[in-house]
Each structure stands twice: as C-alpha cells, then as structure tokens.
C-alpha cells in the first residue's frame, strides 16, 4: 500500500477554533491514516519523522467541502435573468425553458462542467436534487433512469462524489393541480411509480449514493408524502425537501391543509435525523421547534436566496434550537462555498445590525462535516484518522488572502483561491486547474447548447 504524505502549512483540524500550523497528513487507499502536528515536535526526542517524500501544501488545507443542494442545469441561467424585475416565480419560468431543452447527452455535458467547476471551488461531494427524469412531455426514456445515470457519469468525470437525491415531483400546486408544459417531464404519475423507478436505479460506482427528495409541499400531495418518506427510511437514505422558500408556499399550505408546510411534513413522517430541509427561509417559531425535535437539518443556500429575492433564513435561531446547518449553491448563481458560508454570518449582521453570530469553526463545520453528513457520507468532512482523504488547499498569498490570518480565510477567500483538491485520496485539482476538464470551455459549450440567447 502506498502512503502519500502531505505537509500542510496550516490545516483546520476538527473541533479546533483555528487552523494548526505544520501538520503532516498521511493518506493510504483513500483514507487519512495519520494526522500529526509537527510544531514543537521536531528534534531527536520528539519521535516524529519528517519524511523526505512529503509534499508541501502551502496555505490553508481544509476538509472537503460539501455542496448539499444543487440543480446542475440551473447553472445555464447564470447572468441571464437579471434584465428585468420579477421574483422567484418569473425566474422559474426561465428555468423551465432550459429544462425543456435538455436530453441525456446535453445534461451529461452540462453537469460534468458544473461539477468540475465545483471541484475547482473545493467541493468534494455534491447533493443533486434531481427531478429531470423523463423526456419533454413526460414519456420515459428507454432506460427510465437515463438522466440520473448521466449525473452519475458527470460526477465521475469531474472527480467528486455524488448523492443523487431522486426527487418526487407530481403536482404543480399545493391543491394538486396537474403538471403542465415543461413540468411534465418531472413527473412519475404518483409516488408509487416514483418509488418503482427510484428502486430500479442502483448504481454500483463507489463515488455515488442514492437518496430521495420530496420536491416541496407544492409538488407531492399530502397523502403520498409517506410513500417517499418510507422509501428513504427503509434504506436509511438521505431525504431532502424544499421547505418554506416562499411565503406564498406557506399561505397556500395553510389554506389547503390548515397547517404550515413543516407541520404537514411532520404529520406524514417526512422529518427526522436523515432529513434535510432546504432553505427554510420563512418558518414560524413553532416550525423551528418541530424541526429541532425531529432532528431534521437545514441546508441554507444564501447566494441563491439573495439572487431570487427570497429573504433571509433565521440561521442563528435555527442553530440555537439545535438544528444542524449545511450549505448549498442551489441555482449556481455563484459556486463558492466560502461565499455561502460567510453569508450565513453576514446576513445575520444585516438583519440584526450586530456582528459575531457564528464563529469561523461553525462555518467550517457547516461547509464540511455537517454537509457531508446531510448527504449520507458520515465519514467525510474532517481531517482526522479514518476519514475519507478529502483535502482542499486554499492559498493565503493571493490579492484577496495576502495578510489574512488563516482563521480569517472564510471571510476573505474565494473559490478562485483553491489551489489543490484531493478527493478520496485522488488529486482532482492541482495549481488551480482541473486535471481532466477544461472547465471554462466546457461550461461555455454546454450552456450554448441549451440556451436560446
Ligand atoms: Zn432547490
């Protein structure tokens, strides 16, 4: 077995309030086998050998970052929806236009480029909230999971792990209106047929896990929620759901069901320790209690929430209630987990006009171990013995990060400062370049293929 030895100028170790200097990280067969802080450990009696073959990692080395909520194809809309006014709902119509033009080949090309962009940003694992299941109009492909298979292949090419969250999407409104137009390809008819299709998809690749998702209370009728929840529960699989992104969703849910979306999901068994609620921008205080008591986590997507004028989720209240927070770039208006992480703190500052709501280690945890756990990879997101060897190195000598103490990296660095990314022990990004994908060129070509202007 070959041992790879990395010598990090600084590494952010679990539970440490700030990065540790001079850390030797040893990796064997994709796992971290030793983590040794060297400072003060040199000298004949220290018992620590500094190997000649260790590879220096200048800058700050972080655990792998998890992008918990992604719709890969939304990347094609970046910069194209800013011409006029409008809100989430007008943006959604433009998004449907792209959805209508994708097929397995163009989906693979676009997702491969988007996942490679994520790798460049230090993302080692992505949760894809996947509902583009069928042909335009709703007919099945010869392999009904061909679109999901394209995502699995895309992640393999990009060198990152994937949790494919197979999304149940059946109706267009809380009161059960049928899917129309571009939405028709999202639907399986009913939750039982969704479960049959999901069951048939069993990729064996080691970089992928399959989980489930309820698109939202708009898209799955109340009496079918438990079918999705039970499918995930039987497999101990992650279960994700868009929750209270919009006040209109709350109002409609109360009008139709007499309770909040959180209340409805709780009643039908959707909440629990394996469940992640995405957004949760407009919960009531009673909702937060229900989420916390059930062990449900919340994935915040601050750059999308700001882009779509959704509002600011009550992150500090959630954390105070004991809710685990994770992060996602969702619509990919921005793919930068540093930006998502600091937005959790900065948005609270704007709301409260006070500073200091989250510590740097809170942000590292949300982007790292909490995110990986929300995607079903409990053994990732920490630089510790036995964990998956995911290492993300950020330079501290760029125009953005020069002079910044390592502990301040999450408030200064951008995705462009990531110089090296190791996923499961394999080098994916070196010197700021993806080793397999020409990311900018592939993004450009893939987006041109699916957009009209
Ligand atoms: Zn989403």
For the stretch 203-250, pLDDT in tens is 999 999 999 999 999 999 999 999 999 999 999 999 999 999 999 999
Kindly indicate the confidence band of residue 418, based on its pLDDT and cuts at 50, 70 and 90. Answer: very high
For the stretch 99-130, pLDDT in tens is 889 999 999 999 999 999 999 999 999 999 99
For residue 95, the model assigns a pLDDT of 86
- Phi, psi of 158, deg, nearest 5: -75, -15
For residue 216, the model assigns a pLDDT of 98
Tell me the whole-structure pTM to 2 decimals. 0.96
Minimum mean pLDDT among 11-25, 39-53, 141-155, 423-437: which range?
39-53
Is there a contact between 292 and 256 (Cβ–Cβ < 8 Å)? no
For the stretch 263-283, pLDDT in tens is 999 999 999 999 999 999 999
Contacts of 342 (CB under 8 A, 6+ apart): 363, 410, 411
For residue 48, the model assigns a pLDDT of 60
Provide the mean pLDDT of the chain: 95
- Between 124 and 51, whose confidence is greater? 124
For residue 451, the model assigns a pLDDT of 85
Straight-line distance from the first to the last Cα atom of the chain, in angstroms, rounded to the nearest whole number:
52
What number of residues does the chain have? 453
Mark the residues whose beta carbon lies below 5 A from ion ligand 1.
330
Distance 393 CA to ligand 1 centre (A): 28
For residue 80, the model assigns a pLDDT of 84
What stretches of 333-448 show up as alpha helix (H) in DSSP? 337-352, 360-367, 369-374, 439-448
Query: d(Cα 213, Cα 68) in Å, to the nearest integer?
Result: 12
Say if residue 411's pLDDT is above 60. Answer: yes
Say if residue 43's pLDDT is above 70. Answer: no
Distance 418 CA to ligand 1 centre (A): 25
Tokens of 141: 């492909």
Query: d(Cα 178, Cα 240) in Å, to the nearest integer?
Result: 22
Distance 331 CA to ligand 1 centre (A): 7
Catalytic residues: 279, 330
Using the structure block, give the residue that is written with the tokens 């676009």.
110
For the stretch 59-96, pLDDT in tens is 999 999 999 999 999 999 998 877 666 777 777 888 88
Q: What percent of the chain has pLDDT over 90?
A: 89
Distance 43 CA to ligand 1 centre (A): 53
């Amino acid at each position: 077995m070959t041992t790879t030895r990395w010598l990090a100028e600084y590494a952010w170790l679990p539970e440490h309030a700030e990065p540790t200097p001079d850390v030797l990280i040893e990796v064997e067969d994709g796992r971290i086998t030793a983590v040794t802080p060297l400072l003060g450990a040199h000298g004949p009696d220290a018992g620590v050998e500094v190997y000649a073959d260790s590879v220096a990692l200048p800058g700050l080395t972080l655990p792998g970052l998890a992008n918990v909520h992604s719709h890969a194809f939304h990347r094609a809309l970046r910069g194209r929806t800013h011409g006029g006014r409008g809100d989430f709902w007008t943006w959604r119509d433009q998004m449907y236009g792209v959805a209508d033009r994708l097929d397995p080949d163009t989906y693979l090309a676009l997702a491969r480029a988007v996942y490679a962009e994520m790798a460049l940003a230090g993302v080692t694992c992505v949760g894809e909230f996947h509902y583009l299941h069928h042909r335009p109009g709703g007919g099945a492909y010869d392999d009904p999971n061909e679109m999901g298979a394209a995502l699995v292949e895309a992640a393999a090419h990009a060198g990152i792990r994937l949790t494919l969250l197979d999304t149940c999407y059946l109706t267009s409104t809380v009161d059960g209106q049928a899917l129309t137009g571009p939405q028709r390809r999202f639907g399986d008819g009913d939750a039982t047929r969704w479960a049959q299709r999901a069951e048939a998809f069993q990729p064996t690749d080691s970089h992928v896990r399959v989980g489930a998702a309820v698109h939202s209370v708009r898209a799955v009728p109340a009496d079918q929620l438990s079918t999705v929840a039970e499918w995930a529960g039987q497999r101990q699989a992650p279960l994700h759901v868009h929750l209270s992104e919009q006040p209109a969703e709350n109002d409609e849910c109360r009008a139709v069901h007499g309770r909040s979306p959180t209340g409805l999901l709780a009643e039908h068994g959707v909440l629990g320790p394996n469940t992640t609620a995405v957004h949760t921008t407009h919960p009531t205080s009673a909702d937060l209690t229900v989420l916390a008591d059930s062990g449900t986590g919340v994935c915040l997507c601050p750059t999308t929430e700001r882009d779509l004028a959704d509002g600011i989720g009550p992150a500090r209240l959630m954390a105070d209630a004991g809710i685990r927070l994770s992060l996602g770039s969702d619509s990919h208006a921005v793919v930068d987990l540093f930006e998502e992480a600091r937005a959790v703190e900065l948005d609270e500052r704007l709301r409260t006009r006070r500073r200091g709501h989250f510590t740097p280690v809170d942000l590292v945890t949300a982007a790292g171990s909490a995110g990986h756990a929300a995607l079903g990879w409990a053994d990732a997101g920490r630089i510790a013995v036995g964990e998956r060897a995911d290492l993300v190195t950020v330079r501290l000598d760029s125009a953005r990060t020069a002079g910044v103490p390592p502990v301040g990296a999450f408030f200064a660095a951008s995705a462009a400062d990531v110089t090296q990314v190791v996923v499961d022990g394999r080098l994916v990004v070196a010197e700021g370049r993806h080793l397999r994908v020409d990311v900018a060129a592939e993004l450009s070509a893939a987006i041109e293929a699916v957009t009209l202007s």
